[in-house]
Amino acid sequence: MHANPGLVAILAYDGLCTFEFGIAVEIFGLARPEFDFPWYAHRIVAVDQGPMRATGGIQVLADGGMALLEDARTIVIPGWRDRSAPVPEALLAALRQAHARGARLLSICSGVFVLAATGLLDGHRATTHWRYTTELAQRFPAIRVDPDVLYVDAGQLITSAGSAAGIDACLHLVARDFGTHIANSVARRLVMSPQRTGGQAQFIPTPLSPTPRNDLSRVMQWARERLHKPLEVRELASEAAMSERTFLRRFTEATGLPPKAWLQHERLARARALLESTDQHTEQIAAQCGYRSVESFRVAFRGVVGVPPSVYRERFGRGTTALS
């Protein structure tokens, strides 16, 4: 049984970014009859008065004004009308108050400029669309801007890159609340691949074909079938019939991650699935995922997921209650 995840408030404003807004509504506002537990409640919150125009000539009517933010557990900022446009003081104050009481604030693409204006991102890592990262860093030097990642989870503050990366950030929040199996179920309904890790590169110059004829796709599947083994990059290069140097370059260009980082991601994804769906001991899971010791597994898991394997299982394992 899962706990109620609370209210998601999605901001609407004159000049609304339609795609980013649609992402938030699709993930948090759509009914989920496939789940037998409470899904997110959601409200559209007006930043401006009256009907608000959105990209494409659409007009948006909200459920109410910024007073609705007082009850929100999560607030989504789906872009902003213009990076240089001032943010209303009432909105800045409402976001600061929401953060102070523990609400999570998630920005998509240029929405980070709203969060930056609150001052809440000072001293934290954050990201935005690669075209805007230099401007963000120059205007807000107290923010540690990471230009290379899809999204950054700083606890209560989640910032994402260009539009589609907002899907990954929202799915990441679903995974935090319900576990990766539920996030992946939502991804399947969206007819997309499972939620990508935040550390993946924003811009990948050579998209990877999913067909088995693609050498790298075949090697990646080969590696997934052998995650219980201590795989080395030279073994993957040999399987691809490439020199190690060529394989490193082509793999990183195609996936946005070096082979070792990709293997780590795959091992931990397998570990999370096992923690959620089985009663196996941590030692067994560590071995199945290719870790030479349970201690190294725990360190790697906590470093990426943010909590130890035991805590993750308590939250998302079979028969447990999420949203602790």
* Domain harbouring 224, CATH code: 1.10.10.60
Residue labelled with tokens 């001991």: 281
Instruction: Report how far residue 84's alpha carbon sits from residue 15's, in angstroms, rounded to the nearest whole number.
Output: 13
pLDDT at 214: 61
Whether residues 43 and 153 fall in one domain: yes
Residues 162 and 287 in one domain: no
Question: Are 175 and 225 in a shared domain?
Answer: no
Give the number of other CB atoms < 10 A from CB of residue 179: 24
Please give the tally of structural domains in the chain: 3
Assigned domain for 30 exists: yes
Taking CA atoms, 106 is separated from 147, 166, 172, 207, 226, in Å, by 17, 9, 11, 27, 36
Residue 281 lies in a domain: yes
Q: In terms of domains, do 138 and 227 share one?
A: no
Residue 266 lies in a domain: yes
- The C-alpha atoms of residue 256 and residue 73 are separated, in whole angstroms, by 33
Cite the beta strand spans of 117-270 per DSSP E. 125-126, 144-145, 151-153, 157-160
pLDDT of residue 204: 45
Encode pLDDT of 219-237 as tens digits. 999 999 999 998 999 999 9
Two tokens at 120? 């809440």
**Would residue 271 count as lying in a domain?**
yes
CA–CA distance, 235 with 256 (Å, rounded to integer):
20
Span 93-117, average pLDDT: 97
Q: Nearest 5°: CA angle at 77, between 121 and 195?
A: 90
Among all chains, which residue has been given the structure tokens 């691949």? 193
Is 123 contained in some domain? yes
Whether 201 is covered by a domain: the verdict is no
- What range defines the domain where residue 236 resides? 215-258
Between residues 324 and 162, the one the model is more confident about = 162
Q: Same domain for 133 and 56?
A: yes
User: What is the SS3 assignment for 209?
Assistant: coil
Q: Which of 47-51, 65-69, 176-180, 212-216 has the lowest mean pLDDT?
A: 212-216
pLDDT at 265 over 90: no
- Asked whether residue 146 is assigned to any structural domain, the reply reads yes
* Predicted pLDDT at 198: 59
Average pLDDT of the chain is 89
**Cα→Cα distances 253→178, 192, 206, 209, 248, Å:** 32, 21, 6, 13, 8
**pLDDT 10s digits, 152-186:** 999 999 999 987 899 999 999 999 999 888 998 89
pTM: 0.74
Q: Are residues 309 and 171 in the same domain?
A: no
110 and 244 inside one domain: no
For residues 60 and 161, state if they share a domain: yes
* Domain presence at residue 299: yes
